[in-house]
Amino acid sequence: MMNELSTRPEWTALRLTRRWVFVLGVGIAYAITLVVAAIDWNQLTGGEHALVLVTIPFFIAGVAFSTRNFGLWLFVPALLAILICALLYPDSGPRWVTGVLLTSYCSYLWAVLSPRWIGSIAIVLGPLLLMFVWWQRPENVIPGGLALANGSLAAIQVAVATAMIWWAWNSLRSEADRTDADLAVLDSRTAESMLVTERAAMWRLTGTRLHESVLNSLRYLIASPTVDREVLRDFADVSLPTPQDAAQLQVSAAPVPVTRTDVSEPFNKGRLLVTAALAGNAFGGITFLIYLLADEGTQAIPAVILGVAGSLIALVIVLRRVRIRPSWAIPVIVIPAILPWLFLSQDLGCREALILSPILNIAGFCVMVIAAWATRTAGAIGLLIWGVGGVLIALRMPGDCRQFMTVALVNTLVALPVIVTVTYAGTAAYERSRRRAMEIRQQEIRERGRAIAAVDINAELHDVVQEAVSLISAIAAGAEVDSEMRERLRLVDGQIRADMQVDPQGAGAFAVLAKSIVDSLAERGVIATVKGINSSTDHRPIDEAALGVIYRLLSAVATRSGVQVISNGQEDFLSMRVDAQALSVAGLKPGTTSTFGDCLIDVDLDESAEDKTQTATVVLSRPVQA
Mean local confidence (pLDDT), 498-524? 74
The DSSP element (H or E) to which 595 belongs, if any, is strand 593-596
Mean local confidence (pLDDT), 538-543? 84
Rounded to an integer, what distance in angstroms lies between the CA atom of residue 524 and that of residue 354? 91
Write b or e for each residue in 565-595: b if 16 or more Cβ atoms lie within 10 A of its Cβ, otherwise e: bbbeeeebbbbbbbbbebbeebebeeeeebe
Task: Quote the percentage of the chain above a pLDDT of 90.
Answer: 32
Which pLDDT tens digit goes with each residue over 24-70?
889 988 988 898 899 889 999 999 999 999 999 999 999 999 989 99
Instruction: Look at 114-128, 320-334, 400-414, 454-468 and tell me which has the smallest mean pLDDT.
Output: 454-468
Is 535 or 254 the better-scoring residue by pLDDT?
Answer: 535
User: Where does the pLDDT of residue 252 fall: very low under 50, low under 70, confident under 90, or very high at 90 and above?
Assistant: very low
Q: Is the pLDDT of residue 251 over 60?
A: no
Which pLDDT tens digit goes with each residue over 152-187?
999 999 999 999 999 999 999 998 898 888 888 877
Segments making up each domain of the chain, as ranges: 1-141, 506-626
Task: Quote the percentage of the chain above a pLDDT of 70.
Answer: 82
The per-residue pLDDT for 516 is: 80
Mean local confidence (pLDDT), 348-377? 87
Q: What angle do CA 513, 447, 626 make, to 5 degrees?
A: 60
Provide the H-helix boundaries in 90-151: 99-113, 116-120, 122-134
User: What global pTM score does this model have?
Assistant: 0.70
Instruction: Look at 185-189, 242-246, 511-515, 553-557 and tell me which has the smallest mean pLDDT.
Output: 242-246
The per-residue pLDDT for 411 is: 73
Q: Is the pLDDT of residue 114 over 90?
A: yes
Mean model confidence pLDDT for the chain: 82
Q: Three-class SS string for 145-182? A: HHHCHHHHHHHHHHHHHHHHHHHHHHHHHHHHHHHHHH
The per-residue pLDDT for 244 is: 54
Cα first-last separation, the chain: 31
β partners of residue 567? 572
Rounded to an integer, what distance in angstroms lies between the CA atom of residue 540 and that of residue 550? 17
Q: Provide the residue type at 157 as one letter.
A: Q
User: Where does the pLDDT of residue 202 fall: very low under 50, low under 70, confident under 90, or very high at 90 and above?
Assistant: low
Q: Is the pLDDT of residue 579 over 60?
A: yes
Q: What angle do CA 431, 437, 442 make, to 5 degrees?
A: 125
Q: Is 248 helix (H, G, I), strand (E, B) or coil?
A: coil
The highest-confidence range among 68-82, 186-200, 349-363, 396-410, by mean pLDDT, is 68-82
Rounded to an integer, what distance in angstroms lies between the CA atom of residue 569 and that of residue 535? 9
Mean local confidence (pLDDT), 211-239? 66
Instruction: Look at 179-193, 217-231, 308-322, 557-571 and tell me which has the smallest mean pLDDT.
Output: 217-231
Which pLDDT tens digit goes with each residue over 482-494?
777 877 777 777 7
Q: Is the pLDDT of residue 256 over 50?
A: no
Q: Is 139 helix (H, G, I), strand (E, B) or coil?
A: coil
Q: Is 617 helix (H, G, I), strand (E, B) or coil?
A: strand
Q: How many CB atoms lie within 10 A of CB 605?
A: 12
Q: Three-class SS string for 523-534? A: HCCCCEEEEEEC
The per-residue pLDDT for 262 is: 38
The per-residue pLDDT for 261 is: 38
Instruction: Look at 13-17, 31-35, 188-192 and tell me which has the smallest mean pLDDT.
Output: 188-192
Q: Provide the residue type at 133 as one letter.
A: V
Instruction: Decide if 374 contacts 324 (C-beta within 8 A).
Output: yes
The per-residue pLDDT for 209 is: 59
Q: Is the pLDDT of residue 211 over 70?
A: no
User: Where does the pLDDT of residue 381 fall: very low under 50, low under 70, confident under 90, or very high at 90 and above?
Assistant: very high
Q: How many CB atoms lie within 10 A of CB 625?
A: 10
Which pLDDT tens digit goes with each residue over 599-621?
999 998 876 545 556 888 899 99
Q: Is the pLDDT of residue 347 over 60?
A: yes
Backbone phi, psi, residue 306, to 5° = -65, -40
Q: Provide the residue type at 86 as one letter.
A: A
Rounded to an integer, what distance in angstroms lies between the CA atom of residue 387 and that of residue 381? 10
The per-residue pLDDT for 469 is: 76
User: Where does the pLDDT of residue 247 fall: very low under 50, low under 70, confident under 90, or very high at 90 and above?
Assistant: very low
Which pLDDT tens digit goes with each residue over 282-316?
999 999 999 999 988 888 899 999 999 999 999 99
Q: Is the pLDDT of residue 410 over 90?
A: no
Mean local confidence (pLDDT), 522-550? 82
Mean local confidence (pLDDT), 446-468? 68
The highest-confidence range among 130-144, 219-233, 387-401, 518-532, by mean pLDDT, is 130-144
Is 625 or 128 the better-scoring residue by pLDDT?
Answer: 128
Backbone phi, psi, residue 413, to 5° = -65, -25
Q: Is the pLDDT of residue 278 over 80?
A: yes
Q: Is the pLDDT of residue 106 over 90?
A: yes
Q: Is the pLDDT of residue 238 over 60?
A: no
The per-residue pLDDT for 249 is: 44
The per-residue pLDDT for 281 is: 92
The per-residue pLDDT for 60 is: 95
- Long-range contacts (CB closer than 8 Å, 24 or more residues apart) made by 383-387: 383/337, 383/416, 385/334, 385/337, 385/338, 385/341, 386/336, 386/337, 386/338, 386/339, 386/340, 387/413
Instruction: Look at 173-177, 212-216, 431-435, 537-541 and tell me which has the smallest mean pLDDT.
Output: 212-216
Q: Among residues 622, 522, 517, 536, which one has the least CA distance to residue 576?
A: 517
C-alpha distances in Å from residue 96, one per residue of 33, 38, 91, 360, 538: 6, 9, 12, 20, 69
Mean local confidence (pLDDT), 412-428? 79
Q: Looking at domain 506-626, which CATH architecture does it have?
A: 2-Layer Sandwich (3.30)
Q: Provide the residue type at 438 as one letter.
A: M
Rounded to an integer, what distance in angstroms lies between the CA atom of residue 237 and that of residue 209? 16
Rounded to an integer, what distance in angstroms lies between the CA atom of residue 87 and that of residue 132? 8
The per-residue pLDDT for 349 is: 77
Is 253 or 374 the better-scoring residue by pLDDT?
Answer: 374
Instruction: Decide if 140 contacts 87 (C-beta within 8 A).
Output: no
